[in-house]
Chain A
Amino acid sequence: MADAVLFEFLHTEMVAELWAQGPDPGPGGRKMNLSVLEGMGFRVGQALGERLPQETLAFREELDVLRFLCRDLWVAVFQKQMDGQRTHHQGTYVLQDSSFPLLVPMASGLQYLEEAPKFLAFTCGLLRGTLSTLGIESSVTASTAALPTCKFQVVIQQP
């Protein structure tokens, strides 16, 4: 059971390391750090999107892929399934996790709300990367109302 914690520690160090370079780099630098994290998540997501569905049958539609994200991907990375998945309108999905494992050790409630985006950037990239390998171009953003609940909004680019 120590496996889950290994990734959490690594992730915390990744965020800490990227922010240690410039203690408060200002809005421009901050954006770059977030996109570096997102880029890392993207590449990992691409590889996972190839390896995880290896034994499963072919996905027939978008909803299948989203279901795969909420179940298999989340279980593989965070050892739990995602709690909710909602479709808002054509091509927008909101995936909700009421106790996101990377946020759970931080706080419960409104404390550290401004720090939360740093810890969600990697996961946004992860989702985007997996979707991209499975053939869906999208943009993923995350938002927290109160730790450790968070919502990932996936907007699928229509060709």
Chain B
Amino acid sequence: MAVCVAVIAKENYPLYIRSTPTENELKFHYMVHTSLDVVDEKVSAMGKALVDQRELYLGLLYPTEDYKVYGYVTNSKVKFVMVVDSSNTALRDNEIRSMFRKLHNSYTDVMCNPFYNPGDRIQSSGNLGISLSCRAFDTMVTSMMIQVC
């Protein structure tokens, strides 16, 4: 379903970025990078608008002709960006919301892993011993991407 999933730290560097068609990865990296500006815009608009609805889910950030980009910010200013295929019209808003919720839960699990230093890239490295929650994060993201046909 998702074509690319990225987790970006509050200092705006990527903690985790993965895309399914592994050629053209750079294109997705650029897309995620440009979406960060839109995220910042939405977050500052939310701050000034005095709207009571201070949600974590940001919704559709911007649509391109092939892809749609969705965003979500946590309270710790960590951003999740998800790129989905435009042709996949069956994906509804609450499905995207539930995907982000799963991402948030897995990210929190990684954070609580004592072997994970906050600020490091999320990867299970071979020599330091596989960290369970980083691998679980990986598997969860794979399950979100696997239905791409």
Contacts and interface: CB of A to CB of B under 8 A. Distances in A.
Contacts of B54: 57-60
A21 interface: no
B117 to A, nearest CB: 9
Contacts of B112: 47, 50-51
Interface in A4-39: none
Contacts of A41: none
B56 A58 contact: yes
A109 interface: no
Nearest to A50: B111
Nearest to B43: A58
Interface string B7-37: 0001000000000000000000000000000
B73 A58 contact: yes
Contacts of B139: none
B76 A49 contact: yes
Interface centre among B53, B56, B75 (most CB of A within 10 A): B75
A134 to B, nearest CB: 6
A50 B56 contact: no
Interface string B98-140: 0000001101100110100010000000000000000000000
B55 interface: yes
Interface string B53-65: 1111000000000
Interface of A: 43, 46-47, 49-51, 53-54, 56-60, 133-135
A122 to B, nearest CB: 16
Interface residues of B, number: 20
Given A50-B111, A57-B54, A60-B54, 16 more contacts: A43-B114, A46-B118, A49-B76, A50-B74, A53-B75, A54-B104, A57-B53, A57-B55, A57-B56, A58-B54, A58-B55, A59-B54, A133-B76, A134-B76, A135-B10, A135-B77
18 contacts: A47-B112, A50-B111, A51-B108, A51-B112, A53-B74, A53-B75, A53-B76, A54-B105, A54-B108, A56-B75, A57-B53, A57-B56, A58-B46, A58-B54, A58-B75, A59-B75, A60-B47, A134-B75
Contacts of B56: 57-58
Contacts of B114: 43
A43 B54 CA distance: 27
A19 to B, nearest CB: 23
Nearest to A59: B75
Nearest to A53: B75
Contacts of A49: 75-76
Contacts of A133: 76, 118
Interface centre among A43, A50, A133, A134 (most CB of B within 10 A): A50
Contacts of A51: 108, 111-112
Contacts of A54: 74-75, 104-105, 108
